Amino acid sequence: MKAVFSLCTKFLDTHNAHGGFPDAEAFWCSCVLSVLLAKRHLGRVALYTDSRGAQLLERLRLPFDEIHVVFDQFAYPHHLWMASKLQAYRLQTEPFVHIDLDAYLWAPLPARLAGAAILAQSSEDDFSCYDRVVAYFLRQAGYLPEFVRDHAVKHGPKVRALNAGLYGGHHLAAIHACCDAAFETMAHPANQPMFAALAARHAQGGGAFYDFNILLEQYFAGVYCYEHGLAVGYVLSEHESPYFTHLLGDSKRQPESVRNLKKRVAQEYSDYHRRALSLAG
C-alpha cells in the first residue's frame, strides 16, 4: 500500500513555524524519520506539496517515489490547515495511507488491516475535545452535509470521530465523499457567516474553541463511517505491542521527546541528519 505525505508550506508561518516542534532541526528530523520508516515498511512513498516544499525536501534527498506539486494556488487560511490533507486524500486513485510528518510507523501494518475499507490511527468517539466545536457547528452552520444532518437528528452532538495521524484505506469512494463534504461545507454560501466569525476569532487569538480542523477531517470521517456502516481498522490496539507513534500537540515540544527524536535520527540516519541541520540553518 502506498504511503502518502503532504506538506503545504504556507501553513509553516508565524503561527506554526516548525510544524509544532520547538525548532527547525526537530521538524526536519521528524520528516526524515517518518518518511524513511514508511519507505521501509510500506514500500512506496508519495509527497503532495507546493513548489517551496518540493525544493526544501529535495535538499533532504528523501526517497520519494512520487512528488506532486499541487498546493501552489491553495487558498485556505492557516486556521483551516487540514484542507491540504483533505486535498491529498481526494487526489488518490489507489489504496493508500496518509501519515502525518510527526508520526512514525515502526513496523509493517498487521495482517488484520489488510484490505480494510478505512484505516485510521485510533478512535476518538466521545472525546471531550470535540464537544464545544461540534455543538457550535451544529448550531451555527447554515448548511450541513446530509450524513452529518442525519446523524445530528438521531444523536444530537454525539461525537463520533477518528484520529487521522494515519488515515486511508481501500474504500476510495467513501474517503473522497468525506473530503468533498468538507470542502462543500467550507464553500457553501449559507456557511460564510460562520466561517467569517471563525476567521475573526482566530485573528484575535481565540481559535482553540473553534478547531474546525478536527471537525471537518476527523468528526466528518467518523460520522460518515458510522452512518454508512463502514468498519474502521484502527492501527492502535490494546491487544498488540505498539508499532505506531504520533507526537500529538504538546508532545512535540516536550524536551525529552525532542532530544530522543534528534538523537535517533543522528545515530541511525547520520547523512540525513546533516542535511536536516543544513536546512535548519
Write out pLDDT tens, residues 213-233.
999 999 999 999 999 999 999
- The per-residue b/e assignment along 177-201, b for 16 or more CB within 10 angstroms, e otherwise, is bbbebbeebbebeebeebbeebbee
Determine the residue type at 189: P
Nearest alpha-carbon partner for 48 in 106, 2, 113: 2
Q: Residue 207 — pLDDT band, cuts 50, 70, 90?
A: low
Average pLDDT (239-255) is 90
Task: Give strand ranges (E) for the chain.
Answer: 2-7, 45-49, 66-69, 96-99, 103-105, 118-123, 162-169, 232-234, 244-246
Which set of grid coordinates corresponds to residue 7? 506538506
In degrees and rounded to multiples of 5, residue 246 shows phi and psi of: -130, 120
Going from N- to C-terminal start, the domains of the chain cover 1-107+243-281, 123-159+171-235
Q: What is the pLDDT of residues 123-178, one digit of tens each?
A: 999 999 999 999 999 999 999 999 999 999 999 999 999 999 999 999 999 999 99
Tens digit of each residue's pLDDT (9 = 90 or more) over 82-126: 999 999 999 999 999 999 999 999 999 999 999 999 999 999 999
Q: Which residue blocks in the chain are alpha helix, DSSP H?
A: 24-42, 51-60, 82-90, 131-140, 146-155, 172-187, 192-203, 212-213, 220-227, 255-268, 270-280
Query: CB count, 10 Å around CB of 56?
Result: 17
